[in-house]
Amino acid sequence: MGIQTLDEEKALSRFQGLIKSEHWLATYIKDLLSAHDLSAGIDFGTAEQLLSAEKDQFDKDLAVARRMLRVYGKQVTGEAQAAQAG
């Protein structure tokens, strides 16, 4: 089985779509590019620090989402069921 590669046009299109999204990877890539521009280069340590910061933020957001689900989950589920029935 060979390694799959994207042609440049398809890769650029997917990259542009990702950058416009709210996906965590888009934020990480933007941070990488900013760090590269600020220091005229980037090393693995900087990339690792940025990824670690992104993971920390993800973990915080996940904790908030879980608390919201625990507190408001039944209300949201009930509203969704009422909307489907109505």
pLDDT at 58: 92
Q: Is 54 in contact with 35 (CB distance < 8 Å)?
A: no
Query: What band does 55 get if pLDDT is binned at 50, 70 and 90?
Result: very high
Round to whole Å and give the CA distance between 65 and 76: 13
Domain layout of the chain by residue ranges = 8-85
Round to whole Å and give the CA distance between 25 and 58: 11
Identify which has the larger pLDDT, 55 or 83.
55
Contacts of 43 (CB under 8 A, 6+ apart): none
pLDDT in tens, 2-38: 566 668 888 888 888 888 888 888 889 999 999 998 8
Query: What band does 54 get if pLDDT is binned at 50, 70 and 90?
Result: very high
pLDDT at 50: 92
